[in-house]
Amino acid sequence: MTTNLCFDNDTRYQSLADLSHANTMALSCVADTVVTLTDESQLDDFMANTADSQPLFVLSGGSNVLLPEQLQATVLRPQMRGITITAQTEDYVDIEVMAGENWHDLVTHTVNKGWYGLENLALIPGLTGAAPVQNIGAYGVQLEDSMRYVRAYHLPSKTWHQLTTIDCQFGYRDSLFKRTPNTWLISRVGFRLHTNQTHISADYGDVQAVAQSYAEQHGHTQPTPIDVMNAIIDIRKQKLPDPKQLPNCGSFFQNPIITHDQFSLLQATYPHIVGYPMPDSMVKVAAGWLIEHAGLKGGGIEPIITHKKQALVLTNHAPYQATQTDVITAQNHIAKCIYDTFAITLYREPVWVNTDGTVGYEYAA
Ligand SMILES: Cc1cc2nc3c(=O)[nH]c(=O)nc-3n(C[C@H](O)[C@H](O)[C@H](O)COP(=O)(O)OP(=O)(O)OC[C@H]3O[C@@H](n4cnc5c(N)ncnc54)[C@H](O)[C@@H]3O)c2cc1C
């Protein structure tokens, strides 16, 4: 296969680019053209010479996408770097972060500087520019809690905009960017981080206990944000496979939301079923529990197999060879087993990218 060919003597443009190593699921993918952006002005230049009809797709760290074998689109890869302090008081620091900064590196950088708010989001793969797309969240904290604005390019009108958190229409793993795919390219994200060590959020699952043991090792009575971050890194490493060792794209299915009546009926047969009450007499059911109790932990359809420690994660056992078709085959098999067992429909979480660069999201509600 021919890969990474350059044209116009410009290494920012690659034709027939192999993206198999640019997605954490390690699916085989060749894109017509890839344009790497290291400066915002390069996007203006590129768009000035691009027909409105040209299919475009934005790809950052590739940790939440299912790429097609042939991607007949121009793939824009934001790799602008830099972290700038824009304001500082005794209580907080405002920073502006360029889209190409690695997310986990940003979290450790800020926490080590004594700027707090992102510690619960440690070890989430990907780049900063993608974080607002699904309002990333973990351990009781979401991006929107610290984010103030994004600077983003509106691809259809070829214009730059500054969007506040309200403009971004954030929801649970949801945003304007997710609801209007192929429309925006986020180039900068602004955050307000606080400098007070006592504002921590540690009452989620095992976090409190692990953070407390870190605190005691360091002679503190209460966990600090660094203790919380280290606890979360430990917990995540134990629970989630590292995509570099075993390709995956994190949680593959959304937790389904069913009526309280349906949940009560299931509870009569499965007294240990895991569900969390939601507004309007609805219950969010743990998809991982359903998969495990349908006997599918470590199962699936080769080479796409559920992880033996965390059934919600689908892993690729044929890296750089398996394709989107293998993924949908395994997804349909798992979803059918769950429906046959519990009469619950499972929906996918990662972004499905079509051959023409358009994307398909599945929404449970
Ligand atoms: C092991 C593992 C664990 C994970 N854990 C979590 C978790 O705890 N919480 C959580 O929320 N997510 C989690 N994820 C999902 C994923 O890491 C996040 O969604 C992350 O923000 C994706 O970043 P990325 O750079 O890889 O984006 P990509 O996968 O490259 O892109 C994702 C989507 O965003 C769009 N996009 C990317 N960059 C931009 C941009 N600059 N401007 C506009 N649109 C853009 C793409 O077009 C695509 O639709 C996990 C994934 C893995 C593999």
**Which residue's alpha carbon is nearest to atom 1 within ligand 1?**
250
CA 359 to ligand 1 centroid distance, Å: 14
Contact between 51 and 88 (Cβ < 8 Å): no
Task: Tell me how far the alpha carbon of residue 71 lies from the centroid of ligand 1, in angstroms.
Answer: 19
Give me the torsion for CA of 63, 301, 258, 202, rounded to 10°. -40
Burial of 188 by CB count in 10 Å (0-12 exposed, 13-18 middle, 19+ buried)? buried
Q: Are strands 30-37 and 70-78 parallel, antiparallel or unpaired?
A: parallel
pLDDT confidence of residue 11: 59
pLDDT at 2 over 60: no
Mean pLDDT, residues 158-180:
96
Percentage of the chain surpassing pLDDT 70? 96
Task: Give the tens place of pLDDT for each residue, 123-138.
Answer: 999 999 999 999 999 9
Single out the residue of 353, 354, 352, 334 nearest to residue 344, CA to CA: 334
CA angle 120, 272, 203 (to 5 degrees): 20
pLDDT score at 1 = 34
Instruction: Choose, from 20, 60, 251, 292, the residue flagged as catalytic.
Output: 251
Q: Please count the other Cβ atoms lying within 10 Å of the Cβ belonging to residue 321.
A: 13
What class has domain 248-360? alpha beta
Query: Mean pLDDT, to the nearest integer, of 263-269?
Result: 97
pLDDT at position 80 is 97
Give the whole-number percent of the chain exceeding pLDDT 90: 88
Tens-digit pLDDT profile for residues 18-60? 999 999 999 999 999 999 999 999 999 999 999 999 999 999 9
The domain limits of the chain are 5-78, 83-239, 248-360
Judge whether 173 counts as a catalytic residue: yes
Distance 249 CA to ligand 1 centre (A): 9
Q: Provide residues with CB under 6 Å of ligand 1.
A: 24, 58-65, 78, 99, 124-127, 129-131, 133-134, 136-138, 177, 184-186, 240, 243, 248-250, 351, 359
How far CA 114 is from CA of 15, 60, 195, 226, in Å, comes to 43, 27, 6, 9
CB 160 within 8 A of CB 145: no
pLDDT of residue 172: 87
Q: Where are the beta strands (DSSP E) in 80-237?
A: 83-88, 92-98, 137-138, 141-142, 147-154, 159-164, 184-194
Q: Matching CATH topology for 5-78 and 248-360?
A: no
Averaged pLDDT, 67-72: 98
Given ligand 1 and candidates 37, 59, 64, which is best to mutate, with the most ligand atoms within 8 Å of its CB?
64
Fold held by 5-78: 3.30.43
pLDDT given for residue 226 in this prediction: 95
What is the reported pLDDT for 361? 76
Identify the band that residue 363 occupies on the pLDDT scale cut at 50, 70 and 90.
low
Q: Annotated catalytic, 41?
A: no
pLDDT above 90: residue 259: yes
Ligand 1 atom with least separation from CA of 133: 34
Name which residue leads in pLDDT, 278 or 199.
278
Q: For residue 203, name the pLDDT band (cuts at 50, 70, 90).
A: confident
Angle between helices 207-217 and 225-239 (to 10 degrees): 120
Q: Give distance in angstroms: CA of 134 to centre of ligand 1.
A: 7
Query: For residue 130, what are the CA distances in angstroms to 17, 59, 187, 240, 296?
Result: 21, 8, 9, 20, 31
249: confidence class by pLDDT, cuts 50, 70, 90 = very high
pLDDT reported for residue 364: 56
Catalytic residue among 173, 201, 236, 362, which?
Answer: 173
Q: Is 83-239 CATH 3.30.465.10?
A: yes
Tens of pLDDT, residue by residue over 85-110, are 999 999 999 999 999 999 999 999 99
Q: Which numbered atom of ligand 1 lies nearest the CA of 351?
A: 49
Q: Which of 25, 60, 142, 143 for mutating ligand 1's site (highest number of atoms within 8 Å of CB)?
A: 60
For residue 132, the CA-to-ligand 1 centroid distance in Å is 9
Cα(209)–Cα(122) distance, integer angstroms: 17
